Amino acid sequence: MMEKLLVAILIGFGFVVFVAAVGYSLLKVTKEVPDEDRVYLDPLPRPLRLLWPVVRFVDYHVCHFVPARLVQGPAEALRLSGLLYLMSGSQFLALSLISATAFAAIGCKALSMLGQAKVLYIMGLAFIGWWYPRIWLNDVLKKRRKLLVRSLPVYLDFLTMGIEAGLNMNGAMGQAVDKGPPGPLKNEFSLVLRDLRAGLTRADALRRMDERTHIPQVSSFVTAVIQAERMGASLGATFRNQAEQRRIERFQLAEKMAMEAPVKLIFPLVVFIFPVTFVVLMFPIVMKFLQSGISL
């Protein structure tokens, strides 16, 4: 009896020592992560703010060994989405790893309760978790591009009024940034002004704006401005023509989306609305047949 009690005490003591060692190791490894200065970075969203210590931990201890070529893709997507000042490419990889692990762990627990815990299902959930941050990033990129295209004619009008009022290109752009509506295009023109103050030429600053957006409308605007400056053409007329062209393109896009709407409505009509309508219409008829004793 004493031997069993002694063995139990030793096992309990060993377990406590093991837990303490693991906790001490985790605490020591966590303290090795350097502090992050986010003074000049964008504020984190609330859900991401809760996960950020874990993201930084995985980034420092795991993604630090990832080859640079694997980080270039997420970094480029973050740059085009305007989120490069929110997180780095390696931090985005860390977020993908955490998402994949969370999806796999939650899925494994749920499937084990249902008695369907199979490796293939868990791997599929982990794959979905890995791609979930990319789906979110793709949605942010689409919304950003829509906002850029929508607000471009407004800023072109501001530039046209500034040039025709006697301002130079930099002054007109500054007035557009001060008076224009908030959005990603305002931030892009602010970055162009910052590059101009840093000593870049106007053509290089506009080309950097084109590289940050990768939108045909912005590329057309940048090309037109550079060619107008080289050939000595009127910038006011160039901006006015660009604004008119952008409005025509936006109207054509709205017409295209309106013509595509009936086609996109076919699937929900056939799958969801028509069956419910038939049930509502046929139910009284079927009940009358049943009450009259006629078998269907």
Task: Spell out the alpha helix ranges (H) of 202-273.
Answer: 202-213, 216-231, 235-268
User: Where does residue 92 fall: left (phi above 0), alpha (psi -120 to 50 degrees), or beta otherwise?
Assistant: alpha
49's tokens? 């703010």
Residues 216 and 140: their CA atoms lie apart, in Å, by 18
Question: What is the total residue count of the chain?
Answer: 296
Helix (H, G, I), strand (E, B) or coil at 35: coil
**Confidence at residue 65, expressed as pLDDT on a 0 to 100 scale:** 80
Residues 128 and 121: their CA atoms lie apart, in Å, by 11
Report the half-sphere exposure of 256 (CA within 13 A, side-chain side). 6
19's tokens? 């837990």
Residue identified by tokens 């530039």 is: 159
Using only C-alpha atoms, the chain has a radius of gyration, in whole angstroms, of 30
Helix (H, G, I), strand (E, B) or coil at 42: coil
Pick the CATH number of 145-251 from 2.60.40, 1.10.10, 1.20.58, 1.20.81: 1.20.81
DSSP string for 93-157? HHHHHHHHHHHHHHHHHHHHHHT---HHHHHHHHHHHHHHHHHHHHHHHHHHHHHHHHHHHHHHH
Helix (H, G, I), strand (E, B) or coil at 287: helix
Helix (H, G, I), strand (E, B) or coil at 166: coil
**Confidence at residue 143, expressed as pLDDT on a 0 to 100 scale:** 92
What is the phi/psi pair of residue 81, to 5°? -85, -5
Residues 91 and 56: their CA atoms lie apart, in Å, by 7
Q: What is the mean pLDDT of each run of 10 residues along the chain (296 residues)?
A: 60 58 55 72 82 84 81 87 86 90 83 72 85 91 90 90 86 89 90 89 90 89 88 84 87 85 83 82 80 64
Say if CB 111 and CB 147 are below 8 A apart. no
Buried b (16+ CB within 10 A) or exposed e, 88-97: bbbbbbbbbb
**Confidence at residue 232, expressed as pLDDT on a 0 to 100 scale:** 80
**Confidence at residue 8, expressed as pLDDT on a 0 to 100 scale:** 62
272's tokens? 């969801």
